[in-house]
Chains A and B, each alone.
Chain A
């Protein structure tokens, strides 16, 4: 199913001091794919993006961008990126910044169309220091698009945008994907991944936890959490119907389940008391961090 890989990551390991941010991660992304790296904060998404761009030397592993070393691919203008800690120069005008970057590309995106696509047509004469957070993000998008690169790597690109800004941004991204650009973006919003990506890679603890279509991933995450106090043994809880994982601190038990009703029926039948019982929608963390590798493999969702 994969065409020529534009991003190949083999055994990527990233450490910050003693913390393992990315743990021997493998990932292949083919030309034309739209891929969401979905994970909570600290899952390792930014480390993956930054390593893919060659912003630091990983502790182990190899990254190839468009078949080259990351820095070379960036220099050749093959990649456009929005970073989480990227920024714009003070005391410069938007148009000047854009011109500086466009001039470095052999075949830059025509200015009028670029400005319209990124939604900054009216901002070119504006000073950078006078931009709102959403406007800054759009200028950063324009910089990423300046060379009309085949691959876009975006690290939480909508974090500074309001709802309308987000919608406009993802409409733009879908348009780019339709034109054949490969779009890879990190996000912690399931709805963003679902709305834009045709492939979702769930990242937690620096590893790929699940990898599939948005629909597949969503069906797994749209589960529930059943919580209650359980001072005694936890034997058998994992085998209850619908349960995909167990977590919780102390005598508090959290069951991740794909079928809360079936799980509850079985629980009520098996136990005399369920103190402090709660059923709620599972967050990303709850849906995925509780999964152990074994259980996930048993459920057949890991590829």
Chain B
């Protein structure tokens, strides 16, 4: 799964999560869209849901066993959960590590 496929997956998952939120249902999602924090799209619960949904979807599709939110993710100098793009970058890194380990 390359970065642009991952971006598509994140955008689709985000739209599903936001579908019930009239204020945000039609928001345009780009690389620099903030996920969490000031002007972020998500509250903490939706952020957790996004991460778990992505984990489940990716692991099912690629038969991998990545964990997106763990202590390593939380201790990064710059949080992977800032923007859509930073999350995609972080997952690309996780998948690359998983492949080289296999």
A binds B: no
B interface residues (Cβ-Cβ under 8 A, vs A): none
Residues of chain A whose beta carbon lies under 8 Å from any beta carbon of chain B: none
